[in-house]
Amino acid sequence: MAGARTPPSILLTGFEPFGGERVNPSALVAHALHGEHIGGWPVTSLVLPCVFGEAIAALEQALATQRPALVIALGQAGGREAVTVERIAVNRDDARIPDNADVQPLDRAVVPGAPTAYFSRLPVKAMVAALQADGVSAAESLSAGSFVCNHLFYGLMHALRRRRSVQAGFVHLPWLPEQVAERPGAFALPLDTQVGAVRGLLATALQWRGRGDLQRVGGTLD
């Protein structure tokens, strides 16, 4: 119909495998949710290169063409024992290993001259509480690391600095069972559990849209 408005949309991103891994749960989860409708909003998924600079460039292009109202970037945090919703992106690249283009920045700003950090615009506490209520291991996180995940998280928030109405943030996912076959005792979550968890996170973000966040203690002493 002429003049009909395009409904708000969701952009969900993941990363290609890195560090010698054959899979990355963030990419598989993003693929699984592509084309779904959550809260009536269509989900478009994008798998990004695990490369400094290139990941942000690809994300910025998607933001410009799709203009989503909710953006959640996913990444892998092998070794963590929960789905972790990040609270802060810092303006610092300090890579322990090279990225997939063999680039290894040391103590470099993500965006020179930009703010030291940006906070997530997601209802972090509400999202974590919702997953925990569903029996999924979930936690808040105050550090997205200093590799391409934090790099992208910072780039996302910087790109949206003037688009204040857009909900945006970053979520780290643990290893999949097949990734811990040779890592005895390491924590893992099955793919279907991770897909359901991210679907729930998206739904919770929409439920809390414009309402701030759940007021509960979420800090740690370490």
Instruction: Give the residue numbers annotated as catalytic, written as ranges.
Output: 86, 149, 172
Distances (CA, A) of 123 to 107, 116, 119, 176, 195: 30, 21, 11, 26, 19
**31, 50, 69: which is closest to 151 by C-alpha?**
50
Helix boundaries (H) for 76-123: none
**47, 58, 56, 57: which is closest to 17 by C-alpha?**
47
**96, 105, 23: which is closest to 56 by C-alpha?**
105
Enclosing H/E stretch for 41: strand 41-48
